[in-house]
Amino acid sequence: MYILDAGNDRIQRWWPGSTYGVTVAAATLSSPRGIAFDPSGNLIVADYSSHRVVLFPVACPNPANQVCGTAVWNSTLRIVAGTTLSAGTALTLLNAPIDVALDGNGYMYVVDFGNSRIQRFPPGSTSSTSGVTIAGFTTAGGAGYSEFNSPTAISIDLNGTIYILDRDNYRVQKWLPGQPLGFTVAGGHGTGTTLDKIGLSYAMYLDDQSNIYISEFSNHRVSKWLNGNLTAGSRVAGNGTAGTTSYQLDSPWGIYVDANYTLYVVDQGNHRIQKWSLGAVSGITIAGQINVAGSWSYQFNLPTAITFDQYNNMYIMDAGNNGIQRWWPGSTYGVTVAAATLSNPRGMAFDPSGNLVVTDYSNHRVVLFSVYCPATSTSTISPPSKFKKN
């Protein structure tokens, strides 16, 4: 539903069942009166007091995680936020960025862990670009509705609403676009091992039903909080004690949920990736050597993040080896697709063009590896089954 909000000189889009709208067109309108779509989907507006008719061209960003089948990433990184080795509170600086997400228009949202804030950067940003603080307005941190205390993860829904894992407040906060305050949608009852509480956590995932999955590092489990249920979550992976068996996790970090609600867990303490089918009581190891850290192509060293592309290729942030590994479906080893001069990288995401964006935690910056698509797929080349990562 599209509403011409004449008194506010804007057009609002309301998704089915939503309780709020998102501005999709505004600019310099003055008492606009009528709207229509043209055959291409552009918005036409009768701008009454300006005595004109204006057009807002439609843009259709690529869906998330869409990369070409022959994708290769440039080995030379480009800084898109922050300055190498310079931590600070200025708008051009970051302090231990830990996670990143991008919306469909290419705006980048950075979890600035050390400053307890969320910074937004425009497409094409560089090391000199000032970020805009959109959530968390006290860099010292706090427990108020406008504050975070060491946030660690972010998700964005189709409405542009952001969800923040507020680690040391043991809660997930939901922030509507343009609002000065967030509100709690998971946790908020202190820390502990009961299912109404959240332990120390570093990652979360928002599924297509707005259910929230939280990877509880200190509780060695993944909990699921249903949309609208603030009372308690349910355990969907791990039994709550650290271990190496198929039903256990050890200090889990990144998580991913696919269209079938299959859960993939970065089991950091065990240096492996576990796959949990919907309703399963145990997981299956699909990558990594159980409880062995290493730099061979079939191993990880303290991995932190996971994502997939549309071809079901799996990408793992191999933080201890300062690189990103791509694993083809059914593969028994990974291939390094990005490394360069990273230092303790933590989070990653694809931008709408398929470039890889990485939070380079200890370098206090966010970097981008540009994608390109050669005519012949490099995936047809079969490297040895065992080789060292560069």
Which positions ≥6 away from 270 have C-beta within 8 Å? 244, 249, 250, 288, 290, 291
- For the segment 132-185, what is each residue's pLDDT rounded down to a tens digit? 999 999 888 899 999 999 999 999 998 899 999 999 999 999 999 889 999 999
Q: What is the pTM of this model?
A: 0.82
- For residues 121 and 152, give the distance between their C-alpha atoms in angstroms, rounded to a whole number: 18
- Which 3 state secondary structure label does DSSP give 168? helix
Contact 271, 300 (CB under 8 A): yes
Which of the 8 DSSP states describes residue 83?
Answer: B
pLDDT along the chain (390 residues), means of 10: 90 71 78 88 89 80 64 91 92 98 94 98 96 92 94 94 98 93 96 97 96 98 96 97 98 97 98 97 97 96 95 95 94 90 95 94 96 61 41
The helix (run of H) or strand (run of E) holding residue 179 is none
Contact 99, 152 (CB under 8 A): yes
Contact 29, 12 (CB under 8 A): no
Q: In Å, what is the CA distance from 95 to each residue of 48, 113, 175, 346, 350?
A: 47, 7, 22, 13, 22
**Domains of the chain: residue spans and CATH:** 2-56 (2.40.10.500), 72-380 (2.120.10.30)
- For the segment 205-241, what is each residue's pLDDT rounded down to a tens digit? 999 999 999 999 999 999 999 999 999 999 999 999 9
Strand order in the sheet with 2-5: 2-5, 10-13, 22-25
Comparing CA positions, the residue from 184, 259, 287, 283 lying closest to residue 229 is 184
Task: Determine the pLDDT at residue 159.
Answer: 86
